[in-house]
Amino acid sequence: MPITPATATNSPSSGAEPILLELVDEEGVTIGTAEKLAAHQPPGQLHRAFSVFLFDERGRLLVQQRALGKYHSPGVWSNTCCGHPYPGEAPFAAAARRTFEELGVSPSLLAEAGTVRYNHPDPASGLVEQEYNHLFVGLVQSPLRPDPEEVASTVFVTPDELAERHAKDTFSAWFMTVLDAARPAVRELTGPSAGW
């Protein structure tokens, strides 16, 4: 992982410092911070998050299978990238940073696509996703270089291929919520012929 001013003080590899998340109210206004794992313990603390949806030039969505070693939702399929801004970090900057950290690629286009608030318990881990989520859509035009500690697999899918995969594979608890919320921006980005 490249060391940036944000990751130098907030990454797990930098020693004993806990990873902090921004706690927010129902309008998304910052009200404090909490340690990452504590924020996800039941019943969950509402915190800022982001979700990224990247598409190729054919209008196919990049989805990833989360690495098996992750403590939260390991091995499940999900959107291109998701995570949490560090306290004081703009969601857009966090989305671009984390996409590069996980997938080794910078989006050639990244645009805001609204927000969505949800509460999704994860039945496998017992953790709770109580999030005020900033959505982003964009394009990827460079070869991926996924970090194996973060990503087990990636695939580009059409809407029909996603429906087939969603019917047979396990997806993250939040996936359909964030995809449905991002659909208007996805349709604007990919055009009606892509079928999103």
**Vertex 79 angle, CA 109 and 104, to 5°:** 55
CA-based nearest residue to 169, from 185, 152, 149:
152
Residue of 89, 129, 131, 150 with catalytic role: 131
Residue 23, helix vs strand vs coil = strand
Does residue 82 have an active-site annotation?
yes
* Alpha-carbon gap, residue 74 to 160, rounded angstroms: 25
Residue of 22, 82, 89, 150 with catalytic role: 82
β-pairing verdict for 128-139 and 47-55: parallel
At a CB cut-off of 8 Å and minimum separation 6, what does 111 contact? 136, 137, 138, 185, 189
Does residue 81 have an active-site annotation?
no
Q: What are the residue numbers of the active site? A: 82, 131
